Structure 1
Amino acid sequence: MKHYKHILFVNVALLILLLQFTSQNVFAQNLQTQNQWALLPFVKENQYNPILTPGSSIFTDPITQQTVKWEAAHVFNPAMIIRHDTVYMLYRAQDSAGTSRIGLAVSTDGHHFTRNQQPVLFPDNDSFKQYEWPGGCEDPRIVADANGTYYLTYTAFDGQLARLMVATSTDLIHWQKHGPAFAKAYSGKYLNVWSKSGAIVATYSPNNIVATKVNGKYWMYWGDQFIWAATSTDLINWQPIEMPKGMKPPVALRGQAFNMPQLQIVLPTRKGKFDSDLVESGPAAMYSPNGIRLLYNGRNIPAIGDKNLPEGTYASGQALFNAKNPVQLIHRLNHYFMKPTEPYEITGQVNNVCFIEGLVYFQQKWWLYYGTADSNIAVATCNKPL
């Protein structure tokens, strides 16, 4: 009898271990399956980073008529696109006075860039000076249309208010400014509220990033307190999405959101996580029939967020929206996929910043370009197929 009890005990113990092992494997497989939609993993190219640092080029400013070293202080937050098998980088550059201009650099290998000696987009004595001076032109993001015209969203900063702007080009060097993206929406209701960081929904290919319509309209994710959405018929004039009657915000309004309470928040901040304080759009949003993937930036406050990340840390997240209803969030990573770890990411103009803004598929892999500590530019790569 004792012998049978011993066998029974051993069998039960083995069954428990088998169930635990199976349960852990199922959990791991489910976790992997849940995140299959995400673009992962990214590995920092530390042997090359930072790939762009401040430069010594000079430029005669058209407003002050003074010669300035327009990129001598900081370079960061680049937009990226492929043209003629070449990687084009449009990056934010600051002079010693803090004015931002957008520079251009090109590469045939993704690591080594040759700069244009003059900025390609900058404050001028034009009708947009009132929005762009003295702060400048900041934080570009780029897509193309099916006809080969490039559309750049960027931030104009007049020293007090940020406004989301649009410019177009056919060669990435000569740009036509079109002014504030929301100037005509709701009779100018959102012209003079804080707006920036416009990531247009697009289809990525090895050769281009092409704006893609959903339900007959172009879509854009934008904002840097929460992330909101907007639509357009021409990629120039945009209309922010307001909440339907009876809808309530998913979180309590904070910061700039108090000035635009009617807008529908599509990606809120989250308590206890790396994106507790602020969320901000990254590169052009990635359209596919299975969903719209948005890579975004999150800022942390340990008191309400991730206690293991320093105050003000910018880390990188991903979210997936419904391909047929771009305001419907269907998946979101629970954890950042990139954070500051390197000296040039931890110390700089703003400490503890990895700010993702440019993404291309080039040479059979993904290249994610980002600003480091608001001071330099670096890159990380991912081998996941297109």
Structure 2
Amino acid sequence: MLKKLPKPILEPSKEGFDSKNVYNPSVIYVREKFIMLYRAEGEDNVTGRIGLALSEDGINFVKHPEPVMEPEYQWEKKGIEDPRVVKLGKRYVMTYTGYDGRIARLCIAVSKNLLSWEKGEPLFPNFPGNRLRPRGWTKSGAILPQKINGEYIMYFGDSNIWIAYSSDGIHWEYYNSPVMKPRKGKFDSLLVEPGPPPILTEDSIVLFYNSANENLVYRVGVALFDRDEPWKVKIRSRRPILEPEYPWELEGHVDNVVFLEGFVDLGNRLLFYYGGADKYVGLATWEGDLTSLLKFVVG
């Protein structure tokens, strides 16, 4: 199984915009540097800003002193949350959550340098509600950075998981039916939500996903979608690959949570960056390549 570092690699600052909680990071590996964009909360009742931190080794990060994204619009007045970043061509595209205090909306922003971001409006404002979520609630999205059949795809949502398509990575249309649902009696029995950006292999699309059961324990699973028909799930892990274990994962701002959003593939070593109890950033590793991990997890 994945090997966790026993202590967080990023913790709240003593003061400032991230003095309360730091968690749910996206990590990009650029020119032999690890660039982390993380959800940051201070003491002002705003649920999120986006902070940035840099590292040479992927473990020891130095924070940028100011947030790189802050709430501006009505639909994000209570916070911007949970960044997931991919590079599409010459630009970086971030999906994030805009929260107005009632509805969590999937939003998108674009940057050339990971510091200055241009935001768009929420992607699917009239998305239908369901058993867990009100109308308009879409929350999160994870974009595959390669095109399939001439289009980018994105897995999104946080009750079920849906799929959306785009020619440019900015403007999206979604398919009405979920492509993945919770499973009764399993670790993912209440809800499922995309984790980091999906990974394309020779015959599959690999999606690490977050989940919760009826006891609101958050764990991480793996699903393999068909490469040519990306709405079809081929296989899902029977057991989670990450679950809360350490005290800082079991108790925090929200107890019993590990929430994966960052993934870096170094070839013979895989790095998984996750939020612990909605308060810290943790790191888990796999010593081997992605093929060996998938063979171990799903056979």
Task: Return the TM-score normalized by structure 2.
Answer: 0.92
CA distance in structure 2 between the partners assigned to 1:231 and 1:363 by the alignment: 28
Aligned: 1:130 with 2:95: no
Question: Can you list the C-alpha shifts for 1:259-304, whole angstroms capped at 9, x where unaligned?
Answer: xxxxx11110011111001111100011122100100011011xxx
Match of 1:91, SS state, is strand
Aligned: 1:232 with 2:166: yes
Aligned: 1:193 with 2:136: yes
Structure 1 residues 316-331: aligned runs within 5 Å: 316-331=220-235
Match of 2:151 in 1: 217
CA distance in structure 1 between the partners assigned to 2:172 and 2:45 by the alignment: 29
Q: Are the aligned partners of 2:267 and 2:288 in contact in 1 as well (CA < 8 Å)?
A: no
CA distance in structure 1 between the partners assigned to 2:25 and 2:45 by the alignment: 17
Match of 2:254, SS state, is coil
Match of 1:44 in 2: 4
Match of 2:84, SS state, is strand
Q: 1:320 to 1:356 in 2, by over 3 A?
A: same
Q: 1:348 to 1:189 in 2, by over 3 A?
A: closer
Aligned: 1:173 with 2:122: no
Aligned: 1:140 with 2:72: no
CA distance in structure 2 between the partners assigned to 1:86 and 1:122 by the alignment: 24
Q: 1:363 to 1:292 in 2, by over 3 A?
A: closer
Structure 1 residues 1-386: aligned runs within 5 Å: 41-46=1-6, 49-57=7-15, 69-99=16-46, 100-124=48-72, 129-133=73-77, 135-146=78-89, 148-182=90-124, 193-201=136-144, 211-242=145-176, 264-301=177-214, 311-362=215-266, 364-385=268-289
CA distance in structure 2 between the partners assigned to 1:123 and 1:189 by the alignment: 22
CA distance in structure 1 between the partners assigned to 2:14 and 2:80 by the alignment: 19
CA distance in structure 2 between the partners assigned to 1:377 and 1:179 by the alignment: 28
Task: Return the TM-score normalized by structure 1.
Answer: 0.71
- The runs of 4+ residues in structure 1 deviating greater than 3 Å are 188-192
In structure 1, stretches of 5+ residues that fail to align are 1-40, 58-68, 202-210, 243-263, 302-310
Q: How many residues align?
A: 284
Match of 2:74, SS state, is helix
- Please identify which structure carries the higher helix content: 1
Coordinate RMSD, CA, aligned: 1.5
CA distance in structure 2 between the partners assigned to 1:190 and 1:336 by the alignment: 29
CA distance in structure 1 between the partners assigned to 2:161 and 2:243 by the alignment: 20
CA distance in structure 2 between the partners assigned to 1:384 and 1:196 by the alignment: 32
Q: Are the aligned partners of 2:50 and 2:80 in contact in 1 as well (CA < 8 Å)?
A: yes
Q: Are the aligned partners of 1:182 and 1:237 in contact in 2 as well (CA < 8 Å)?
A: no
Which structure has the larger Rg over C-alpha atoms? Answer: 1
Identical aligned residues as a percent: 40
Q: Are the aligned partners of 1:360 and 1:367 in contact in 2 as well (CA < 8 Å)?
A: yes
Q: Are the aligned partners of 2:71 and 2:79 in contact in 1 as well (CA < 8 Å)?
A: yes
- Please identify which structure carries the higher strand content: 2
